[in-house]
Structure 1
Amino acid sequence: MSMQSTQEAQFWRRPDQESEDVNCSLCYQNCRIRPGKRGICAVRENQGGMLMTLVYGNLIAANEDPIEKKPFFHFLPGSLAYSIATVGCNFRCLHCQNADISQLPHETGKLPGNYVPPEDVVAGAVSRGCQSVAYTYTEPTIFFEYAYDVARLARASKLRNVFVSNGYIGQDAADKIIPLLDGINIDLKGDDEFYRKVCKAKLDPVKSNIEKFWRAGVWVEVTTLVIPGYNDSVEVLTDMAGFLAGISRDMPWHVSAFYPTYKLLDAPPTGIKSIKRALNIGREAGLKYVYAGNIIGESESTICPDCGFVLIERRGYRVMKNTVTEGRCPNCKAAVAGVWS
């Protein structure tokens, strides 16, 4: 690991002058960290009474992905997103699909990666023909200082910025990144019991952030991984769909199928029946755009909610056809919510 990866973090203070403990307010975990120790994310460390980020520029992943993979279905369809991540996460999800990188510092203390300066990320995105930089794979909040510097340069180079997030970012950090952020996909994972039991977190901050980003004008899409026996009850799904529809019926909701992984091996894979039920619950709540994830051929395409015309035809992560014209349905001229150009 390059020494450039370690620098002073943002969003912290000392609770009192007598102690060298620090309070980190980067996210809603609000860790109090003793000298020599790290926060829940395992990538921010109290070094002699000063909070340091240990992963600045320390990339564990950098790939060009279809934006649909994030998933974003109403944000520059068919474009590529240059996707980056460092190790670490402020959640402890038992079913994490990227646990090999998100939970690595927590489990081993190690911080693998290669130092890549922000300007090289932007150059990489431009040279590969990407239209956006996606901060993804792990939780982008935990490498905030780096994400912010990359996002500033990306914006100056006419690239868009998108977060793929668990929605636990703190208020001050959210306020700082919002002016640079064009889109965010936030996981809405379940009810409060699910968050406490499966993720070691709480539901309310996630809900308030979904609303905060939407009201601030950032394009928001929401993803729910439907896990049998954990968050797939009609009651829980109805609560989630109703909450999203209460903010805006235009907010896309992706309901994805679960496959046993990491430490959550006792739950079976999600059946197609379960996904179809979730889709129906979303539509009954009034959401205009509800999509099935991880199941090819099932509710992938964007349909005009006014006239039923197929606006965007998808197969997996591929856009086969996109007829949205200047943000409108070409058939009935109804506005279609999203970021189209």
Structure 2
Amino acid sequence: MKCDLCFHHCDLQEGQTGLCFARENKAGQIVSKNYGQITSLALDPIEKKPLYHFHPGSYILSVGSYGCNLKCPFCQNYEISYDNGSSVRGQMSPKELVEYAVKLVRQGNIGIAFTYNEPLIAYEYVKDTFIQAKEAGLKTVLVTNGTITTKYLDDLLDYTDAFNIDLKGFSQDIYDRLNGNLELVKTNIIHAHQKAHVEITSLIVPTFNDALEDMEKEASWLGDIDNNIPLHITRFFPRYHLLNQEPTSIPLLKQMQSIALKYLHYVHLGNI
């Protein structure tokens, strides 16, 4: 059986799991192993997603599971992204999750954000939850690497209010080192922007994706879509396989911000 959720199209034998750790061939069907499996649950400020231009000052129930379909050596959440389920702390059905989110409305919660690991590898759980969340009057948010087959992304757009999409660089060479596909991410940014609020995050890792010319290309491309798309240029700190790497230079980030502001109205620096 081939899993067609993302461009990897993992060819799975019975009982075999894809490279995302979360999708399995079970009795001749591709199923989500991490459906309803929760590793992280927190009521976060919306700005932490980061979403600075979507209901600022509010809070959102943030939910994580396990698994990811990219392989980033600088992963900030590698403990759950490259886990096969050992980090699961509990299970919640879509109905239970929505009911819990509704209870938190009195504390300022506006909805549900799937985040921390890559949420779209649990596409079925996200869709089932978001349908019920919209019926309950909640806002819905996805923080994603954008690496999903576009037909599945389009299927979620009627139920998703906002995205923060990681744009990890602006060359296929960079994405090759992450087992990724830049053109697919770009296509999905365009599609998401047509129906939802979209903000973009680029984590800048020294010597990996820190070329000023790439930031100029990225900002120009985003500006051609809509110069009101907010861009978050984020500082890297040593993590996962890059523990000996230096944090990103703040002057470099400010240079990138100045470049991006030629094309975009809203460019924010993060982790500084």
Q: Name the counterpart of 1:121.
A: 97
* Counterpart residue type for residue 241 of structure 2: K
Matched residue of 1:23: which SS?
Answer: coil
**How many corresponding residue pairs?**
268
After TM superposition, which residue ranges in structure 1, 4 or more long, deviate above 4 angstroms? none
For the pair 1:279 / 2:231, whether they are aligned, the reply is no
- Are 1:34 and 2:10 matched, yes or no? no
Q: Aligned pair 1:228/2:176, yes or no?
A: no
Classify the secondary structure of the residue corresponding to 2:261: helix
**CA offset digits 1:293-314 (Å, max 9, x no partner):** 112xxxxxxxxxxxxxxxxxxx
Q: Which has the higher contact order (CA 8 A, sep 6+)?
A: 2
**Structure 1 residues 125-167: Cα deviation after superposition (integer angstroms, max 9, x where no partner):** 1212210210000111111111111101110111010100000
Per the alignment, residue 70 of structure 1 pairs with 49
Contact 1:27 1:141 in 2 (8 A): no
Q: Quick one: distance in 2 between partners of 1:267 and 1:277?
A: 20
Counterpart of 1:151 (choices 127, 130, 143) is 130
The question of 1:289 aligning with 2:266 is answered yes
* Deviation of 1:110 (Å): 4.0
Q: Per-residue CA shift, 1:102-143, capped at 9, x if unaligned?
A: 1011xxx74633111112211211212210210000111111
CA-CA distance at 1:267 after TM superposition: 2.7
Specify every segment of 5 or more residues in structure 1 that has no aligned partner in the other structure, as ranges. 1-21, 296-341
Cα distance per residue 1:145-199 (max 9 Å; x no partner): 11111101110111010100000111221121100000000001112111111x2
Matched, 1:173 2:143: no
CA distance in 1, matches of 2:8, 2:183: 12
SS, match of residue 239 in structure 2: coil
Q: Which protein shows a greater Rg?
A: 1
Letter in 1 for 2:94: P
Aligned residue identity for 1:100:
E
Partner of 2:61: 82
CA contact (8 A) 2:80 2:87 kept: no
The aligned amino acid for 1:278 is M
Within 5 Å, give how 1:258-277 maps onto structure 2.
258-277=236-255
Contact map agreement 1:55 1:111 (CA 8 A) in 2: no
Counterpart CA distance in 1 for 2:21 and 2:147 is: 16
Alpha-carbon contact 1:251-1:287 (below 8 Å) kept? yes
> How many angstroms does 1:35 deviate by?
1.9
CA distance in 2, matches of 1:272, 1:54: 41
Matches within 5 A, 1:1-341: 22-105=1-84, 110=86, 112-129=88-105, 130-190=109-169, 191-197=171-177, 199-215=178-194, 217-284=195-262, 286-295=263-272
Cα deviation digits, residues 236-273 of structure 1 (max 9, x gap)? 11111111111110100000000010012343101110
The residue type equivalent to 2:197 in the other structure is W
Shift of 1:48: 3.3
Task: Provide the C-alpha distance between the structure 2 equivalents of 1:234 and 1:208, rounded to a whole number of angstroms.
Answer: 23
Return the letter of the residue paired with 1:91: L
- Unpaired runs of 5+ residues, structure 2, are none
SS in 2 for 1:131: strand
Whether contact under 8 Å (2:115, 2:143) holds in the other structure is: yes
For 1:171 and 1:189, the matched residues in 2 are separated by 18
Structure-1 separation of matches of 2:39 and 2:230: 29
Contact 1:86 1:113 in 2 (8 A): no
Mapped to 2, the partners of 1:172 and 1:186 lie a distance apart of: 17
Task: Describe the shift of the 1:192–1:266 C-alpha distance in structure 2 as closer, same or farther (beyond 3 A).
Answer: farther
Normalising by structure 1, report the TM-score: 0.76
Whether the aligned pair in 2 keeps the contact of 1:35 and 1:49 (CA below 8 Å) is: yes
